[in-house]
Structure 1
Amino acid sequence: MTESRPKAIDLFCGAGGLTQGLSDAGFDVLWGIDHEENTKPTYDHNHDHEMTVGDIRETSPPDLGLEEGELDLVAGGPPCPTFSLVGRSKINSLEGQSTTTDERHQLYEDFLRFVAHYEPKAFLMENVKGMLSAANDDGEDVVDVISGQMEDLGYEVTVKLLDSADFGVPQHRERLFFIGNRIGVDNPDLDEWKTHRPPSNEEEKQIKFNTAGGPEEENQESLHAYTEEEEKEFPHFEESPERRVPWNTVADAILDLPPVSPNGETPPTQAEEYTMGPVSEYQYWIRGRPGPDEWEGRTLYNHECRGHNMRDLTLYKLLGEGTSYIIGDIPEEHQPYRSDIFPDKLKKQNPKEPSTTVVAHLYKDGHMFIHPTEARSITVREAARLQSFPDDFEFPVARTHAFKQVGNAVPPLLAQAIATAVRKTVLGISQDSTLSPEADD
């Protein structure tokens, strides 16, 4: 008998990075919500279920067509900007109250309001690293307060700080994850699900060339269709893997993409076609595992960077591999900004390392994300690859909105890793059929 795909919803969904990871891990995402109107074109373009634009504080949980307790997972990353206001309110009292008039209201409370309403088997909540060291006005640790509220709802809670690079994402991005379940099992130990590690020597920092076969090989959609002797196709998530491989790097992620000024235009503009096939295993995966000629003639989406003036281009050229300047360190006559007001950095990403954290600030300027080999800032597609969005995930919005959406997202590959651990460890669903949308047919 075929198991159906577990059901989930995505709160504070943005463009859908977490949704993408949940789907790739075998979940059927039923609904998403975000307050930012510009995320809807992107979300709708890449996902086929309803996404609501609105203030979650004023939104009642919708009817998902499920029986009581049938929802498997509530997931989301609520903003939590004012840690000092986190208090020990009774979450179950939020069900009928107006939260918009409470200045102490925190959006994570709405996450828990939805958990209280649906009573899912499990939840997954993402937040910033700074929560770990934050205290409220009463001197209580914020993480302890929030965990206590989750436990009051009947959930066993685990809190873990994770770096996305440890799960195959070519980017250092530390985020805090709360995992809870109410079905009496242990939450996954996510340290045991890590697939990647720091390199141990210079050789391990080099690009990891793809050795996988093309589509003429047996289709390996399943994450479980391997023998112990077979090389496991990227990505592969399992508890306590036999070996972990070196981190994926900027080179692994983006150096197969064509220059954005193929005819020498200044400033750099965009490129709309691939000019070579994938080189690394990560590139091969992120393109959708194409065959030897399948990349030819395919449209390359969002490979566009902002325009640069000649001063910026010259400054970018001065930077060596993986080096950075504080704005104030640059001679005054070459300053892009007043150093007393904008203590920012110019940083060229190191091709031999995971990138620094991709941030939403990219929509304002790209000075901290200068291409490792070209005198320009990175494109939307390059930022998306560093976040592990597949190449067929399009951002059909203005470039500034696209950069912001990429920077705000949960890396899909990290989300897939955690969701796979939850699916297997908590929900006990490990059959290959859950990884295919046809599993419910």
Structure 2
Amino acid sequence: MPTAIDLFCGAGGLSQGLHDAGFEILWGIDHEEKTKPTYEANHACEMTVGDIREEEPPDLGLDEGELDLVAGGPPCPTFSLVGRSKINSLEGQDNQSDERHLLYEEFLRFVDHYQPRAFLMENVEGMLSAENEDGKPVVDTIKEQIRGERPVADMDLDLNYSVRVQLLDAANYGVPQHRKRLFFIGNRIGSENPDMEQWETHRPPQTEEEKKIKYSRDPSKRSEEDQHTLDGFVDDREDEEFPAFRKNRRSKESWNTVADGILDLPPVSPSGETPPTRADEYELGPVSEYQYWARDRDEGQDWEEQELLNHECRGHNMRDLTLYKLLGEGTSYIIGDIPEEHQPYRTDIFPDKLKKQNPKEPATTIVAHLYKDGHMFIHPNEARSITVREAARLQSFKDTFEFPVSRTHAFKQVGNAVPPLLAQAIGTAIRSEIFNQPIREEEPQKAD
């Protein structure tokens, strides 16, 4: 089994996806103390809380070059448009001099230390348009540093990796959410770095019918003959179990939508409480293919026996609840479309400050700002913002992934995460194309 570590690991979305792709995660690190209970509740490896700039790479019990993958997503707020505007508004600061955008150099320091066969680095789309103080594109600078053609700050690093940089939308890999992120995939063993467009499993809908919820039969009812592996040629089949990552699929499913993702989850006010609060039990079994996968039931377990975790939303005042009710299918999805006298915000600045999620489309990008308010993530059918579990579903965390922290911290952790399904797709491609390992389609055992 290939080995990996996860830098800037957060709650562990990247770790989970790599685990599901067949990697053994040996260690993780993050600066946020509240991520530790979440990470350790869902992963069977040690996680360190600390400033990576002050941490030395730990002894993993491996010789130099034996680690297979260094992965991580350095938090770089100055590369996002929102981050740039906030930093530039601070007296005496600008986004080019802000130290946080150089955290990727710490990622490269760990790559240099372990000399893994491959690496995977994730960042925001805004990095593509970012420039350094000399006016040079940041992405070009990083690629030169990775190839060993340019020094990394004042560090004496020995890097000589080939690298491919791609902007990926999570919706194209089965995640019921549009989320564009930049990925650097590299290796030092002479392999071709995967072109992730060739590993896409989903596409935009071509008809109105394809926007409807994709009903599926219970995967536990599938016969042995339904199961296939990638050890030989596998033709595309309609009853293929989700997810099935392989290169150059001849046919793709239409995007998973908000309805596919969350509409099997019960209302959070089962007795009509106002404001809505939480629910602890499922009321229906899963309906869509994605929901069957997300429930992640043990073999032989009925859905009635499964505990529903983190299905809790924030409280709302009556004005917000009434405004939420105004929005929806057949009227409008953003508050900017309703009459001016009902606007709670200036529409020239916040045209989409209140937004109801469209059940026939993938969700808009789940953000960490959810921990402050949920106005941009209003439930498609209920007058409330989404719950932690619904946000996690839209990020492709399975229902068995627990967030044993306060609701506020849980929302932040979900919003900051790499979608596990997207990470699984990339991890599968790395194993197949860089490491030349046969990939089986059946899902690995879940982490302890």
User: What is the TM-score with the length of structure 2 in the denominator?
Assistant: 0.87
Kept in 2, the 8 Å contact 1:17–1:409? The answer is yes
Paired residue secondary structure (1:285): helix
Hey, which bits of structure 1, 4+ residues long, moved more than 6 A? Answer: 219-222, 290-293, 338-343
Which residue number in structure 2 is paired with residue 235 of structure 1? 243
Change (3 A) 1:434 1:355: closer
Which residue number in structure 2 is paired with residue 387 of structure 1? 395
Equivalent pairs, count: 417
Q: Equivalent of 2:180, from 174, 179, 182?
A: 174
C-alpha separation in 1, matches of 2:101 and 2:323: 45
Change (3 A) 1:142 1:402: same
1:136 aligns with 2:145: no
After superposing the two structures, state which structure 1 stretch, 170-179 or 226-235, moved more. Answer: 226-235
Change (3 A) 1:68 1:147: same
Residue 338 of structure 1: how far off its partner (Å): 6.8
Residue 204 of structure 1: how far off its partner (Å): 0.5
CA RMSD of aligned residues (A): 2.7
Paired residue secondary structure (2:303): coil
Q: Equivalent of 1:309, from 317, 325, 329?
A: 317
Kept in 2, the 8 Å contact 1:170–1:388? The answer is yes
C-alpha separation in 2, matches of 1:324 and 1:33: 39
1:427 aligns with 2:435: yes
Residue 310 of structure 1: how far off its partner (Å): 0.7
Kept in 2, the 8 Å contact 1:12–1:77? The answer is yes
Which residue number in structure 1 is paired with residue 59 of structure 2? 63
1:353 aligns with 2:349: no
Instruction: Give the letter for the 1:287 counterpart.
Output: R
C-alpha separation in 1, matches of 2:287 and 2:101: 49
1:35 aligns with 2:41: no
Residue 320 of structure 1: how far off its partner (Å): 2.0
Q: Equivalent of 1:117, from 104, 113, 128?
A: 113
C-alpha separation in 1, matches of 2:422 and 2:19: 12
Which residue number in structure 2 is paired with residue 300 of structure 1? 308
Deviations 1:209-258 (A, max 9, x none): 11344267449898648953753210000000121110000000000000
Note the 1:25-424 alignment, pairs <5 A: 25-82=21-78, 106-152=102-148, 153-214=159-220, 217-218=223-224, 224=230, 227-228=234-235, 230=237, 231-288=239-296, 294-321=302-329, 323-326=332-335, 331-332=340-341, 334-336=342-344, 345-424=353-432
Which residue number in structure 2 is paired with residue 24 of structure 1? 20
C-alpha separation in 2, matches of 1:253 and 1:260: 16
C-alpha separation in 2, matches of 1:139 and 1:288: 48
Note the residue ranges of structure 2 that are not aligned, 5 or more in a row.
81-97, 149-158
Change (3 A) 1:222 1:389: farther
Kept in 1, the 8 Å contact 2:229–2:442? The answer is no
Deviations 1:349-383 (A, max 9, x none): 00000000000000001000000000000000000
C-alpha separation in 1, matches of 2:214 and 2:443: 26
Change (3 A) 1:155 1:222: farther
C-alpha separation in 2, matches of 1:132 and 1:384: 27
C-alpha separation in 1, matches of 2:163 and 2:57: 23
Kept in 1, the 8 Å contact 2:170–2:419? The answer is yes
Change (3 A) 1:434 1:165: closer
C-alpha separation in 1, matches of 2:362 and 2:349: 29
Residue 345 of structure 1: how far off its partner (Å): 1.2
Residue 275 of structure 1: how far off its partner (Å): 0.6
C-alpha separation in 2, matches of 1:274 and 1:219: 31
Change (3 A) 1:58 1:293: closer
C-alpha separation in 2, matches of 1:421 and 1:287: 25
